[in-house]
């Protein structure tokens, strides 16, 4: 991971109050995002998402919704990503989109497994 990307991750975490873990493994890339909990409602406690892809995945990204609770996932096509740094940039954009949808009530706070 480039120093520039490390700095982008730190800045993103500070500005958006989102914990982001980035892993550049040999066979895959993974971003785990944990947006802050809001309020005391149970529906605001499970907001973990993981974005997984890799150099040989032709832009396909596996998105795990609440991976600590259930096995729900979706697959998206994000276009060409030659490097881990390209993936990080696109994943952070997606994290912001997800947060905006959640804040506007367009996305669920937690999936059906939430009690």
Q: Map out the domains of the chain as residue ranges.
A: 3-103
Per-residue confidence (pLDDT) for residue 110, from 0 to 100 = 46
Structure tokens at 10: 């730190």
- pTM metric for this prediction: 0.80
Tokens of 19: 């914990």
Better-scored residue on pLDDT, 69 or 26: 26
Over the stretch 46-105, which tens digit does the pLDDT of each residue have? 478 999 999 999 999 999 988 888 888 999 999 999 999 999 999 999 999 988 887 776
* H or E stretch covering 76: strand 73-77
Stretch 5-25: mean pLDDT: 92
What order of strands is seen across the sheet that includes strand 73-77?
19-24, 29-34, 49-53, 60-65, 73-77
């Amino acid at each position: 991971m480039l120093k520039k990307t490390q700095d982008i991750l730190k800045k993103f975490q500070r500005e958006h109050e989102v914990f982001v873990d980035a892993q550049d493994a040999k066979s895959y890339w993974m971003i785990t995002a944990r947006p802050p909990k809001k309020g005391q409602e149970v529906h605001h406690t499970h907001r973990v998402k993981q974005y997984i892809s890799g150099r040989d995945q032709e832009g396909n990204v596996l998105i795990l919704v609440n991976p600590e609770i259930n096995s729900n996932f979706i697959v998206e096509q994000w276009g060409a990503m030659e490097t881990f740094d390209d993936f990080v940039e696109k994943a952070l954009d997606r994290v912001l989109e997800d947060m905006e949808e959640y804040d506007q009530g367009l996305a669920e706070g937690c999936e059906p497994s939430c009690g």
